[in-house]
Amino acid sequence: MNNYNFNLNGKVAVITGGGGVINGVFAKALCIRGAKVALFDIDKTAANRIALELIELGGTAKAYKADVLSKESLTAAYEEVKKDFGTCDILLNGAGVHHPLATTGHEQLTEENMADGRTFFDLDIEKVKWVYNIDFMGTFLPTQVICKDMIGKAGCSVINISSMNAISPTSTVPIYSAAKAGVSNFTAWLSSYFAKVGIRVNALAPGFFVTNLNKNIMYKEDGTLSKRSERIIAGTPMSRFGNPDECVGTLLYLLDPQLSSFVTGAVIPIDGGFSSFCGV
């Protein structure tokens, strides 16, 4: 390891949900190490904003409109990537969502809150399907569309984004938690299935990071912590939220064949100790 110098020169990376905050951080980390980065997002404007930032840094990146719930959309976008950059070496399945109508209004059901319209029994079925499909099928479908081109290529990896919710479901978010548990299980299955064709499959399981997706429930309007956030901090041994940059080291470790050539099927928590702390 004395001559260690990890780079991704010549590698093509596809990132789904590429217009998001954390995925933008991942894209930058890959781009500055030489990867050609294709940002897939149903909101092409958001992905293009990230792509332009990467280009200004001297990297190679491009945004593509892609719906992770449509095999046809994904196939069309990937065909464009192959024309622009070549076949994929790194697939980062980063697309994910919450929705308030797939979230309960209380941590526990009581007779008193039964009638307020915010119980498990009131969850909106269409929004439940939407959240579950994007969080699980939005990992399954890009993998099915793209990974065939990885077979027989050296140094190929799939990185899925699970969650500490997959380890222990967080109150009020049953659908997101169930979908992320599916992502962790799917990661394990894929790692075995792809092991003989040279594709390693691993996952990151972030804890609590403040993003555009959750900041309205993490903080009050006056900028102070919500009661839920106070409990999260109390249950996190490191006593703070994570910074998206703190996921980068684990991502690069899992991509680097010098460091992790014998690592596949791993789901690594990045949560300040939240998943390992029982609360007492």
Task: Name the residues annotated as catalytic.
Answer: 176
The answer to whether 241 and 54 have CB atoms below 8 angstroms apart is: no
Provide the β-strand partners of residue 38. 14, 62
Q: Could you tell me which residues come within 8 angstroms of residue 90 by beta carbon, excluding any fewer than 6 positions away?
A: 8, 11, 12, 13, 14, 30, 35, 156, 157, 158, 159, 255
| DSSP output for 42-62 | SSHHHHHHHHHHHHHTT-EEE
For residue 2, the tally of other CB atoms under 10 A from its CB is: 3
Write out the two tokens for 223: 């900028």
Q: At what angle do helices 44-56 and 21-31 cross, to 10 degrees?
A: 30
